[in-house]
C-alpha cells in the first residue's frame, strides 16, 4: 500500500496504482480530466496530456520533485508522494495550453455533431478553454469516410487519442485499423479501404471521446438531451447484454454500452445488441439511467437531488395531513 497526497487530501492506494486512479478514489474536483486514458484498454493514456499534474515530492524515500509535469494516467504512485493538480497554477496553465492545442484543428461543429451533449472535449473546453481562438490559419480537413456499414468517421473532429485503435487491437481479432501518416496529418484509417467488420467493432463508437466515430443508425435522429436513457438488459450469448436504451417515446433510437462517471465503458457490448435490437420488446427495462457527469443530458432528466428532496418533503406533508405520524422536518429545506 502507498500513501499519496493529492491537493492536500491523503489517500492510501494499492502499489502500482496510477496518480489518476488514486485521485479517482478520492473523487470530486481534484480528479484530473482524461481524454485518451481508458482503464480497460492496455497501453492507453499518456498522449493527450490534459491529465498533467505536478509532483512536488517524488516519494518518502526520495523527496525530490519531478522536473517536469507528468501524465497522471501513466505515472504510478510512490509511498509518500505529494501531487498538485488544481492547486498548482502551473498545471492549470499547461492544461489550458493543451486544451487550446486540442481545439486548434477541431472544427467546432458542435451544432451538427451527434456527440454534442456527451462529448468529453466539450466538457473540457467548457472548463478550461479560452473563449476565442488565437489560430488564424485554415484548419486541417479530411473527407468523411465509412468504416464498416455502421460507423462513420469524421477525421476532422478526431483528437488522436488512439482509444479506438486499442479497441480494434485488443477487443477484436484481425486488426485492420490504425493510424496512418505522421504529425498533424495523422489519421485514423483502415487498411486500404477495408471495412472494420467484427462483432465488437461498435465499441469504437463508445470509447471515442469526441464525435469522430458515430453510430450511423443514430446519426441526426435526435439531440442526445432530447432522449430518455433507460438501463436495460437481455440474454445475449456473445456479451453481457447490459446496455442503455436511448429512447424517444416508445422508440429506441440508439443502444450503447453503460459508461461510468468518468465516461468509461466497463462491460463492452456486441454489435447484435447495439444495432439489431431496436425494439423495446427485446429488452428488460430496469429503469431510468443515472447520468451525473454528462451534465447536459442529466439536466432534462431524473434524480436531480434538489427535486428529489422536494418530492420527499411533499410526501412528508401529505403523510402529516393524514395525521398518521409527525416525522422530523428536513433540515436542508428549513435552513
Partner 1 sequence: MGKKLLTENINVPGIETFEVYRKNGGYASVEKALKTMTPDEVTEEVKKSGLRGRGGAGFPAGMKWSFLDRKSEKPRYLVCNADESEPGTFKDRYLMEKMPHLLVEGMITGSYALGAKTSYIYIRGEYMYIVRILEKAIDEAYAAGFLGQNILGTGYSLDLYVHPGAGAYICGEETALLESLEGKRGNPRLKPPFPAVAGLYAAPTVVNNVETIAAVVPIVNLGGDEYAKTGIGKSTGTKLISASGHINKPGIYEIELGLPVEEFIYSDEYCGGIWKGRKMKAVVAGGSSVPILPADLILKTAKGEQRLMTYESLADGGFVSGTMLGSGGFIVYDETACIVRNLWTFARFYHHESCGQCSPCREGTGWMEKVLHRIEHGHGHSGDIDLLVDVAKKIEGNTICPLGDAAAWPVASAIRHFREEFEYHVKYPEKVKNPKHFEVEPFVSEKKLEAVGA
Residues making contact with partner 1 (CB under 8 A): 45-50, 52, 68-69, 71, 74, 93-94, 97-98, 100-102, 104-105, 134-137, 159-160, 162, 178-179, 181-186
CB 210 within 8 A of CB 158: yes
Minimum CB separation of residue 249 from partner 1 in Å reads: 41
As beta bridge partners, residue 259 has 265
Minimum CB separation of residue 11 from partner 1 in Å reads: 22
The b-or-e profile of 159-191 (16+ CB within 10 A means b, else e) is bbbbbbbbbbbebbeeebbeeeeeeeeebbbbe
Task: Between 141 and 325, name the residue whose CB sits nearer to partner 1.
Answer: 141
In Å, how far are 137, 225, 250, 277, 328 from 207, measured between CA atoms? 30, 19, 27, 21, 46
As beta bridge partners, residue 252 has 247
Minimum CB separation of residue 158 from partner 1 in Å reads: 11
Minimum CB separation of residue 98 from partner 1 in Å reads: 6
CB 226 within 8 A of CB 298: no
Task: Between 138 and 328, name the residue whose CB sits nearer to partner 1.
Answer: 138
Among 2, 23, 21, CA closest to 13: 2
DSSP category for residue 289: P
Task: Between 158 and 252, name the residue whose CB sits nearer to partner 1.
Answer: 158
Minimum CB separation of residue 72 from partner 1 in Å reads: 12
DSSP category for residue 137: S
Task: Between 189 and 271, name the residue whose CB sits nearer to partner 1.
Answer: 189
For residue 26, the tally of other CB atoms under 10 A from its CB is 16
Minimum CB separation of residue 183 from partner 1 in Å reads: 4
Task: Between 76 and 313, name the residue whose CB sits nearer to partner 1.
Answer: 76
Task: Between 137 and 193, name the residue whose CB sits nearer to partner 1.
Answer: 137
Task: Between 188 and 247, name the residue whose CB sits nearer to partner 1.
Answer: 188
Minimum CB separation of residue 59 from partner 1 in Å reads: 13
Beta strands in the chain (DSSP E): 2-6, 9-13, 52-57, 70-71, 81-84, 145-146, 151-153, 177-180, 187-190, 213-215, 228-233, 242-248, 251-257, 284-288
Amino acid at each position: 500500500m502507498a500513501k499519496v497526497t493529492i491537493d492536500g487530501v491523503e489517500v492510501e492506494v494499492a502499489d502500482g496504482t496510477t496518480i489518476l486512479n488514486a485521485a479517482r478514489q478520492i473523487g470530486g474536483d481534484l480528479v484530473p480530466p482524461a481524454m485518451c486514458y481508458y482503464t480497460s484498454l492496455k497501453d492507453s493514456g499518456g498522449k493527450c496530456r490534459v491529465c498533467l499534474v505536478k509532483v512536488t515530492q517524488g516519494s518518502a524515500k526520495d523527496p525530490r520533485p519531478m522536473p517536469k509535469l507528468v501524465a497522471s494516467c501513466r505515472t504510478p504512485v510512490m509511498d509518500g508522494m505529494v501531487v498538485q493538480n488544481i492547486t498548482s497554477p502551473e498545471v492549470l496553465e499547461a492544461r489550458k495550453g493543451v486544451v487550446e492545442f486540442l481545439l486548434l484543428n477541431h472544427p467546432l461543429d458542435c451544432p451538427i455533431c451527434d456527440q454534442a451533449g456527451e462529448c468529453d472535449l466539450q466538457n473540457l473546453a467548457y472548463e478550461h478553454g479560452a473563449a476565442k481562438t488565437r489560430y488564424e490559419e485554415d484548419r486541417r480537413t479530411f473527407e468523411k469516410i465509412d468504416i464498416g456499414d455502421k460507423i462513420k468517421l469524421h477525421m476532422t473532429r478526431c483528437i488522436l487519442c488512439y482509444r479506438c485503435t486499442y479497441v480494434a487491437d485488443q477487443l477484436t481479432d484481425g486488426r485492420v485499423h490504425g493510424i496512418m501518416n505522421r504529425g498533424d496529418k495523422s489519421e485514423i484509417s483502415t487498411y486500404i479501404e477495408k471495412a472494420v467488420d467484427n462483432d465488437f467493432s461498435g465499441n469504437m463508437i463508445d470509447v471515442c471521446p469526441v464525435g469522430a466515430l458515430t453510430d450511423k443508425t443514430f446519426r441526426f435522429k435526435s439531440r442526445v438531451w432530447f432522449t430518455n436513457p433507460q438501463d436495460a438488459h437481455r440474454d445475449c450469448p456473445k456479451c453481457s447484454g447490459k446496455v442503455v436504451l436511448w429512447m424517444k417515446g416508445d422508440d429506441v433510437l440508439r443502444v450503447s454500452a453503460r459508461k461510468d462517471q468518468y465516461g468509461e465503458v466497463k462491460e463492452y457490448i456486441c454489435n447484435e445488441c447495439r444495432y439489431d435490437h431496436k425494439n423495446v420488446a427485446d429488452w428488460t427495462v430496469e429503469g431510468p439511467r443515472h447520468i451525473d457527469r454528462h451534465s447536459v443530458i442529466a439536466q432534462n432528466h431524473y434524480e436531480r437531488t434538489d427535486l428529489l428532496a422536494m418530492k420527499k418533503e411533499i410526501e412528508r406533508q401529505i403523510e402529516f395531513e393524514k395525521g398518521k405520524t409527525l416525522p422530523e422536518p428536513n433540515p436542508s429545506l428549513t435552513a
